[in-house]
Amino acid sequence: MAIHMTEQPVLLSATGMSIWRGEHLLVDELDVCVRAGSIVQIQGSNGSGKTTLLRALIGLAEFDEGEIFWRGEPVRRAQDELHASLIYLGHKAGITAGLTPLENLLSLCPELTSGERGESSARLLVQQVLDELGIGERIDLPSAALSAGQQRRVSLARLRLQSATLWVLDEPLTSLDADGYGWVQAEIQRHVGEGGAVMFTTHQSLSFDPLPVQTLQLAGDQ
């Protein structure tokens, strides 16, 4: 397995990443390499820069030094390709309160309604995934009426509805219950098994036996 892993193509990589926040060196000369079929966990205490690093890697935040590559191409030139094959779930769920879960998911996953697929088959698909997540009966309720955990589940439904090679999940377990943990864990395993890659941060313990997890330790304040 381990030997096989190294043969997989490199999706996202970065060399010499340094990020300053004011007078404070948050990330120091870090090298990152995410291959297809791998799980990378970024570890570090609160405030050690996990979120900042993830956001910098996908082009949502500034960084000071280093170079990022998407499939070997400098990300400056391959930004659109990167974004097209990426699902990012951040601290903010990305759910608009005034819209229903269905409307939210349809606008977040435009491929659901594109092509010959119509609105009704897209609805069926969304219904199926939301059922599985235990919030199927809320599909037409305004999202403002959902709890934090339920909103998180709506945004997690994208993992099933969208096809993207790279998942970048920043604390995906926030406000989820044990059932939710299990679902996320199984989804990550399925995704990696299909040749995708996952980069995530969490303070909970997740195990993906027998899949290996690379860890990337951020030093934080030192």
Partner 1 sequence: MKLAIRSAGQWLNPLLFFVIVVTLFPLGIGPGPNMLATIAPGVLWVSALLAMMLSLDALFANDFRDGTLEQMVLSGHPLTVMVMGKVMAHWVTSGLPLVLLSPLLGLMMQLPEGAYGILIVSLLLGTLSLSFIGAIGAALIVSLNQGGVLLSLLVLPLTVPVLIFGSGAVAGAGMGLETSAHLSLLFAIVFLSVSLAPLAIAGALRVGVAAGR
By the criterion CB under 8 A, which residues form the site for partner 1? Answer: 51-52, 55, 58-62, 80, 83-84, 86, 88, 90-99, 103, 107-108, 110
Please, which residue, 95 or 133, has the CB nearer to partner 1?
95
For residues 104 and 143, the answer to whether their CB atoms sit within 8 Å is yes
Q: How far is the CB of 108 from partner 1 (least distance, A)?
A: 6
Instruction: Determine the Cα–Cα distance for residues 1 and 26; give it in Å rounded to an integer.
Output: 34
Q: How far is the CB of 84 from partner 1 (least distance, A)?
A: 4
Please, which residue, 110 or 210, has the CB nearer to partner 1?
110
Give me the helices (H) in the chain, please.
2-7, 50-57, 75-84, 101-108, 119-132, 148-156, 158-161, 178-193
Q: How far is the CB of 133 from partner 1 (least distance, A)?
A: 19
- Per the document, the length of the chain is 222
Name the burial class of residue 119, with classes exposed (0-12), middle (13-18) and buried (19+) by CB atoms within 10 angstroms of its CB.
exposed
Q: How far is the CB of 85 from partner 1 (least distance, A)?
A: 8
Please, which residue, 90 or 136, has the CB nearer to partner 1?
90
Please, which residue, 148 or 186, has the CB nearer to partner 1?
148
Q: Within 10 A of 214 (CB to CB), how many other CB atoms are there?
A: 15
Q: How far is the CB of 61 from partner 1 (least distance, A)?
A: 5
Helix (H), strand (E) counts: the chain: 8, 9
Please, which residue, 6 or 120, has the CB nearer to partner 1?
120
Q: How far is the CB of 77 from partner 1 (least distance, A)?
A: 15
What Rg, from alpha-carbon coordinates, does the chain have?
18
Please, which residue, 90 or 220, has the CB nearer to partner 1?
90
Q: Say how many CA atoms lie within 13 Å of 150 toward its Cβ.
A: 18
Cis peptide preceding 142, ω within 30 of 0 = no
Pairing between β-strand 166-170 and β-strand 197-201 as defined by DSSP bridges = parallel
